[in-house]
Amino acid sequence: MNRRIKVALIGNPNTGKSSVFNLLTGLQQKTGNYPGITVEKKEGYCRLTKGVSATIFDLPGTYSLNASSLDENLVIELLMNRKHADFPELAVIVADIENIKRNLLLFTQIKDLGIPSILVVNMSDRMIRKGISLDVEKMEEELNTKIVLTSTLKKEGIQTLKNEIANYSQLEHSPCLDFRSIDPDYFASLQKTFPKQSIYKLWLVITQDVNFANIDRNTIQSTDGDHTRSVSFLKRLQQRETIKRYQFINEVLKKCLQINREQATDFQSRLDRVLTHRFWGYVIFFVVLFTIFQAIYDWSSYPMDAIDSAFVSMSEWAKTNLPSWFVPKLIAEGVIPGLGGVAIFIPQIAILFVFISILEETGYMSRVVFLMDRVLRRFGLSGKSVVPLISGTACAIPAIMATRNIENWKERLITILVTPFTTCSARLPVYLILIALVIPDTRFLGANMQGLVLMGLYLLGFGMALAAAYVLQLVLKLPHKTAFVVEMPNYRIPILRNIGITVYNKTKSFVLEAGKIILAISVLLWVLASNGPSSSFGQAEAIFGADQELTQAELEQKISAYKLEKSYLGQVGKFIEPAIAPLGYDWKIGIAIVSSFAAREVFVGTLATIYNVGTDEEDTIKNRMADEVHPDGKPVFTLASGMSLMIFYAFAMQCMSTLAIVRKETNSWKWPTIQLAVMTLVAYLAAFATFQVL
């Protein structure tokens, strides 16, 4: 007999849910999205005992069933809807022993829903140092539940938890709160109107903006409008409910929890006095940021070089060893370079994710939110926009997903709209090759000139994001009500295993997502570059073949250059040349811009393809670009045209995946369309100005 139990891990943020999840499931995890929304869905497989296993869901952190963010909405919808495919048979509520009182609030709510629940009290390793003692048996009795004490740091209690999950059918589920004690008249009459429904579910439907299978807000409203009275009235009842819940929790804890408060002024608060200091706090933050960026460049250059040359030699090998008909040629000249274009980003993205997850795991990120809130609010953003803006330097997609916990819709929308201005790693290869080409490798005030230009481009990205936010704040007319409440979790030493798993999962999904698009584009490009309207495309041999003065090599070169120009791709480039000539670009760059419209990292790959088609020698792409000349003999890549290109890439919205995610997160086509139009326009004008001035 094989049984699979569906188990949901629920708990406040930072209580150790993901750590418990990682220990239960190891690497047998799947991450994806819940359909229609971009809340990350994590599920894993766990073998409990002989013949019994479990599917574990790591739900997003929730303070309470009264939702104040998209993540929390998801948890409620899941728990309220028995027909949901992932509806859990068992809820495992993870609490942190140091914040047990607050954590129990959610526990009482879930218990009132009537879902079988186990309470995990995590971080037991900290009890001795904090002078905490807990009478587990007494508490099990008081809460009428099973309790498992765990420490994921020391890997303790996990086996016990597995056993308890396997035995979940023996759990009792009695509610914690008697609703009539909150407002006897209101709740008695509510129950009378809907005798068959659970009173807590009714109450949640009335107060929350969630959909719930059997009954919805409208039904309640039309049956008995009195129960959905004024918002103020409902909010006062919610406050009373919270008070009642805390009374219950305090009664329980009085009987089984003891805290010896001797080490009150401890290390934590001393650390906070420095890290959130009104002067030193900022200094430390900028040092941290600076270190991160340095590390990203220093550490990633070796693996990036290695990946680059690996793909180059793979492509070379394929070219010489594979038969030369359509499919193998496509693989050698289209697919392998295209994949290389994605793989090259892996080191940088992984390193950035390592840092971001360290900042989050240690609890430092919340301090940065505190420090930056006021400054960013000037620009219509929130302190919580810091995370997206920093993550945006890796990739805008996870960054935009990280805006979910900004409660205020206006601040969230502005963050979503401006995040693509930050210099994501896809822009980097474009910058690197152009800088190497047009910026002299000299020293300026003792610093490397090329490095300075790169840093300037990063600052430009942030500056533009802020400027755009400022304008949006003035333009957007949206109701604005603050709900900014940020918990400052205790500082913790991060658990290495957690960081490893996070980085692995995030990098993997980035590579898969971006990989699909880049692969498709590079194949398309290659096909367009190798074919053309037969009337002119097919004439190459005939035109040059007659010329006896050419050597064999020169002949081949002439033919392929001519073919490129007459190919479909070349036609596209020629077509848009008049529009981009004022920016200093020729038709070949035009092709690269068009092809990188869907993903900017394609730019270098396209140039590589184009110039590769033109010659046979093995030469670096940089040298080939330097040799490029206009028909009048002037070089194509000069300071002016190079800078203009970089500015164009800094501002343009060339990323299909980002547009797709913006459409999902804003639930409309309007915002991604505006974003695309405005950013492209800004990029065009700025590039034009740059070229004309330089």
Ligand X SMILES: Nc1nc2c(ncn2[C@@H]2O[C@H](COP(=O)(O)OP(=O)(O)O)[C@@H](O)[C@H]2O)c(=O)[nH]1
Residues contributing to the site for ligand X (CB under 6 A)? 11, 13-19, 61, 122-123, 125-126, 151-153, 361, 492, 494-495, 498
Whole-number minimum distance, CB 481 to another protein, in Å? 8
Sign of the alpha-carbon dihedral angle for 473, 478, 482, 487: negative
- Write out the two tokens for 55: 């599917």
Closest to 54 in 3D by CA, of 117, 1, 2, 7: 7
Q: Does position 483 bind another protein by CB under 8 A?
A: yes
Rounded (5°) CA angle 472-473-474: 90
Closest to 145 in 3D by CA, of 175, 102, 181, 103: 175
Shorter beta-carbon distance to Mg ion: residue 145 or 502: 502
Q: Does position 369 bind another protein by CB under 8 A?
A: yes
Q: Which string of x and - marks every residue 218-247 that binds Mg ion (by CB under 5 A)?
A: ------------------------------
Shorter beta-carbon distance to another protein: residue 228 or 238: 238
User: Is there a contact between 316 and 612 (Cβ–Cβ < 8 Å)?
Assistant: no
Q: For 76-117, give the secondary structure using H, E and C.
A: HHHHHCCCCCCCCCEEEEEEEHHHHHHHHHHHHHHHHCCCCE
- Write out the two tokens for 334: 């289209």
Out of 180, 273, 443, 508, the residue judged to bind another protein by CB under 8 A: 273
C-alpha distances in Å from residue 580, one per residue of 38, 145, 232, 591: 37, 70, 58, 11
| Helix extents (H) in 322-402 | 326-330, 336-343, 346-362, 364-377, 386-391, 396-401
Q: Which of residues 213-232 bind another protein (CB under 8 A)?
A: 231-232
Cβ burial of 670 (10 Å; 0-12, 13-18, 19+) is exposed
Q: Select from Mg ion, another protein, ligand X, none the partner in contact with residue 16, using the beta carbon and a kind-dependent cut-off of 5 to 8 Å.
A: ligand X
Q: Select from Mg ion, another protein, ligand X, none the partner in contact with residue 327, using the beta carbon and a kind-dependent cut-off of 5 to 8 Å.
A: none
Distance between CA atoms of residues 549 and 562, nearest Å = 18
Whole-number minimum distance, CB 361 to ligand X, in Å? 4
Q: Does position 183 bind another protein by CB under 8 A?
A: no
Distance between CA atoms of residues 354 and 461, nearest Å = 22
Q: Does position 14 bind Mg ion by CB under 5 A?
A: no
Piece of the chain touching Mg ion by CB under 5 A; list 15-23, 138-146, 633-641, 666-674: 15-23
Shorter beta-carbon distance to ligand X: residue 337 or 398: 398
| Helix extents (H) in 378-408 | 386-391, 396-401
Q: Does position 242 bind another protein by CB under 8 A?
A: yes
Q: Does position 333 bind another protein by CB under 8 A?
A: no
Shorter beta-carbon distance to another protein: residue 371 or 416: 371
Shorter beta-carbon distance to another protein: residue 262 or 618: 262
Whole-number minimum distance, CB 18 to ligand X, in Å? 3
CA dihedral 239, 243, 244, 248 (to 10 degrees): 150
Q: Which of residues 103-132 bind another protein (CB under 8 A)?
A: 105
What phi and psi, each to the nearest 5 degrees, are found at residue 120?
-105, 120
Q: Does position 300 bind another protein by CB under 8 A?
A: no
Q: Does position 478 bind another protein by CB under 8 A?
A: no
Piece of the chain touching another protein by CB under 8 A; list 267-275, 411-419, 669-677, 682-690: 267-275
Whole-number minimum distance, CB 166 to another protein, in Å? 33
Distance between CA atoms of residues 260 and 315, nearest Å = 67
Distant-in-sequence, close-in-space partners of 137: CB < 8 Å, separation ≥ 6: none
Whole-number minimum distance, CB 487 to another protein, in Å? 5
Q: Does position 208 bind another protein by CB under 8 A?
A: no
Q: Does position 254 bind another protein by CB under 8 A?
A: no
Whole-number minimum distance, CB 288 to ligand X, in Å? 17
C-alpha distances in Å from residue 293, one per residue of 21, 296, 304: 31, 5, 16
Q: Select from another protein, ligand X, Mg ion, none the partner in contact with residue 404, using the beta carbon and a kind-dependent cut-off of 5 to 8 Å.
A: none
C-alpha distances in Å from residue 213, one per residue of 18, 39, 79: 29, 21, 11
Whole-number minimum distance, CB 123 to another protein, in Å? 15
Q: Select from another protein, ligand X, Mg ion, none the partner in contact with residue 122, using the beta carbon and a kind-dependent cut-off of 5 to 8 Å.
A: ligand X
Shorter beta-carbon distance to ligand X: residue 81 or 362: 362
Q: Which of residues 372-411 bind another protein (CB under 8 A)?
A: 373-374, 383, 407
Provide the CB-side half-sphere exposure for 477 (13 A, CA): 0
Shorter beta-carbon distance to ligand X: residue 11 or 340: 11
- What one-letter code names the amino acid at 35? P
What phi and psi, each to the nearest 5 degrees, are found at residue 474?
-75, -35
Whole-number minimum distance, CB 249 to ligand X, in Å? 20
Piece of the chain touching another protein by CB under 8 A; list 112-120, 422-430, 477-485, 536-544: 477-485
Shorter beta-carbon distance to ligand X: residue 128 or 546: 128
Q: Which helix H or strand E contains 517, and what residues bound it?
A: helix 496-530
Shorter beta-carbon distance to another protein: residue 68 or 638: 68
Distant-in-sequence, close-in-space partners of 45: CB < 8 Å, separation ≥ 6: 25, 28, 53, 54, 55, 56
Q: Does position 18 bind Mg ion by CB under 5 A?
A: yes
By the criterion CB under 8 A, which residues form the site for another protein? 63-64, 66, 68, 99, 101-102, 105, 231-232, 235-236, 238-239, 242-243, 246, 269, 272-273, 276-278, 366, 369-371, 373-374, 383, 407, 482-490
By the criterion CB under 5 A, which residues form the site for Mg ion? 18
